[in-house]
Amino acid sequence: MATTQPPAPPNSTEDKPQTTPEVVQQANEVQQDGRPEAAKPIVPASVFVNSEPIREDQVSNAVKFLSHPKVRGSPVIYRRSFLERKGLTKEEIDEAFRRVPDPPPSSQPASLNQDGQVKPSSSVQTQATMQTPPPVAAAPTGIVSAGTLAQRQFHWYHAVFAVGVLAASGAGTAVLIKNAIIPRLKSWIRKVVLEEENENAKKSDAKPSLAEEAAAAAKAAAAAAADVARASQEMLSSKNEERRRFEEFMNLIDVQVQEMKSMSNAIRKLEGQADSSGRTFVDHEDHRVSASSTKQSYANGRVDADVRSVRSASPPASAEPPHPKSYMEIMAMVQRGEKPSNIREINDMPPNPNQQPSNPRIAPRTKPWEAQNGSSQVLQSQGSGEGLIQKVQDNGLNYLVDDESSTPWWQRKNVRITEVENEDELKAGPYGVKTNEPPVQRTWVPPQPPPVAMPEAAEAIRRPKSSALKEAAKQEELAEDQSVARPLEATDELNRITKISESAGAVEINGGFSSMNSTEIQEQEQSYSEN
């Protein structure tokens, strides 16, 4: 693929050892200097891949986003899509997903999640929560000692230590409460109960009043919320009403326009035109709003099952483009479940599933960018050899000036330089030479050719080319230097001869047939000698 020496010999044997190997090698070297693409096969993979490091701030934002309870309820694909749209790379998104696992055990302080860590700490926690004095007393001390002993492994033991301290404090307070505070509480409660009997009436009053107040407050809040909801609903409904009225208005206008259309249709029919489809009407003004109203449903482009099933081929534009009137009619029909009447039943299945495609009659052509940039993937399409054929502007001019009918109308340009392409054999036009604009100028400048009878040369080019092309089509990728080398030596040999022969030589070279090359050149020389 690259323009290095090793692939060159096999390629050259394939194509044509017609030219001397030294010239080829020289050209190779020249090309190698000129092209820094030797390492290209490795580079592309890195160019089209993210090489940015993971941005911690983006990842932490993503983690916050993913930890949100509402986000947790949404499908994973939408979470990923959201993060992608925010500009996170794949690696950052994966890292965020890793940090926020789906089942939430997240009670770990500080350190990264490790499954091994979760289990011992949870077991310690269950121990602590049981709170029976003997094991509690033993456990904290055990844990504390364990914690103090092994502090090198930061994460695991740190957490265990912290949990142990918590458990110890919890146990300690539990013990305290049991032993010291509860008796005091009990005595206090007895006092209070005695007082309570006296104040029962007042308390019962106070509580219900408290409850009443709370209830009243809640009712007031609910009422306020209901008011707000009502108000917003009213606003919505008024908006809807307005919109409906507007739509009605537009519909009326539509109706009027339709009547006008039908009238004009009738007129046309009278004039004898059979114009059946309603689609030829082009009205922009009247359907804009009706389009917008129905477009609202897919304005945001999100997954709406009904809409998708109806194939919203039109874009969900934030600014709704005016759809043709009949488009809206058909959409409405389909949404109602009706089928437009002009659909036929067509069987478009292959009649013979094993049918082979016909043999190609033309070899693939070089792309203009391939030839110009001299990429190594050039020249599978040696046939036309557009890229390497130099064309003097004179010839283009000649075509333009001399014989207008020779160039197809689509090639006539206002610009001086025309691109005249070689056609397939069916089109035996007089134009046979190709131009590539800008031409591939690497090592030599084409001399001004004398005006020659191109057609013969073109024919000469084309004849052997057809067979050459077929062979060429089978080849994979040629080193670019090969093709460039050829014109070099071709030029040397055919310096007197016109461009066409040179280009023909190049074509042949691209085509990769040495034998053809020589015969080509000879033929052209003959033709020119005849001239």
Partner 1 sequence: MPVFKTPFNGYSVKFSPFYESRLAVATAQNFGILGNGRVHVIDLSPSSPVINELIAFDTADGVYDVAWSESHDSVLVAAIADGSIKIYDTALPPHSNPLRSLKEHAREVHGLDYNPTRRDSFLSASWDDSVKLWTLDRPGSLRTFREHAYCVYSASWNPKHADVFASASGDCTVRIWDVREPGSTMIIPGHEHEILSCDWNKYDDCLIASASVDKSIKIWDVRNYRVPVSVLNGHGYAVRKIKFSPHRRNLIVSCSYDMTVCLWDFMVEDALVGRYDHHTEFAVGVDLSVLVDGLMASTGWDELVYVWQQGMDPRA
Residue type, 56: E
41-72 burial, b for 16+ CB within 10 Å, e for fewer?
Answer: eeeeeeeeeeeeeebeebbebbeebbeeeeee
For partner 1, give the closer residue by CB, 156 or 327: 327
Cα–Cα distance for residue pair 73/79, rounded to 1 Å? 10
User: Could you tell me how far CA 513 lies from the centroid of its own chain?
Assistant: 42
In the list 373, 393, 398, 518, the residue contacting partner 1 (rule: CB under 8 A) is 373
Contact 432, 491 (CB under 8 A): no
Q: Shortest approach of partner 1 to residue 33 CB, angstroms?
A: 20
For partner 1, give the closer residue by CB, 77 or 193: 77
Binding to partner 1 in span 235-294, by CB under 8 A: 279-280, 282
For partner 1, give the closer residue by CB, 90 or 178: 90
Q: Shortest approach of partner 1 to residue 24 CB, angstroms?
A: 24
User: Could you tell me how far CA 96 lies from the centroid of its own chain?
Assistant: 23
Residue 321 as a binder of partner 1 (CB under 8 A): the answer is yes
Binding to partner 1 in span 159-188, by CB under 8 A: none
Q: Shortest approach of partner 1 to residue 49 CB, angstroms?
A: 4
Residue 409 as a binder of partner 1 (CB under 8 A): the answer is yes
By residue count, the chain amounts to 531
Task: Please provide the DSSP assignment of 192-253 as one string.
Answer: HHHHHHHHHHHHHHHHHHHHHHHHHHHHHHHHHHHHHHHHHHHHHHHHHHHHHHHHHHHHHH
Cα–Cα distance for residue pair 39/49, rounded to 1 Å? 17
Binding to partner 1 in span 44-63, by CB under 8 A: 44-45, 47-50
Binding to partner 1 in span 199-218, by CB under 8 A: none
Q: Shortest approach of partner 1 to residue 79 CB, angstroms?
A: 10
Give 150's Cβ-side CA count (13 Å radius).
10
Task: Please provide the DSSP assignment of 18-69 as one string.
Answer: TS-HHHHHHHHHHHHHH--GGGTTTHHHHHTS--PPPPHHHHHHHHHHHHSH
Q: Shortest approach of partner 1 to residue 234 CB, angstroms?
A: 32
For partner 1, give the closer residue by CB, 58 or 127: 58
For partner 1, which stretch binds (CB under 8 A), given 200-208, 241-249, 410-418, 453-461? 410-418
For partner 1, give the closer residue by CB, 419 or 459: 419
Residue 462 as a binder of partner 1 (CB under 8 A): the answer is no
Residue 77 as a binder of partner 1 (CB under 8 A): the answer is yes
For partner 1, give the closer residue by CB, 186 or 279: 279
Residue 95 as a binder of partner 1 (CB under 8 A): the answer is no
Q: Which residues 6+ apart lie within 8 Å of 494 measured at CB?
A: 501, 502, 505, 521, 524, 525
Q: Shortest approach of partner 1 to residue 160 CB, angstroms?
A: 39
Residue 193 as a binder of partner 1 (CB under 8 A): the answer is no
Q: Shortest approach of partner 1 to residue 387 CB, angstroms?
A: 11
Cα–Cα distance for residue pair 484/409, rounded to 1 Å? 32
Residue 375 as a binder of partner 1 (CB under 8 A): the answer is yes
Cα–Cα distance for residue pair 264/280, rounded to 1 Å? 12
In the list 72, 98, 244, 308, the residue contacting partner 1 (rule: CB under 8 A) is 308
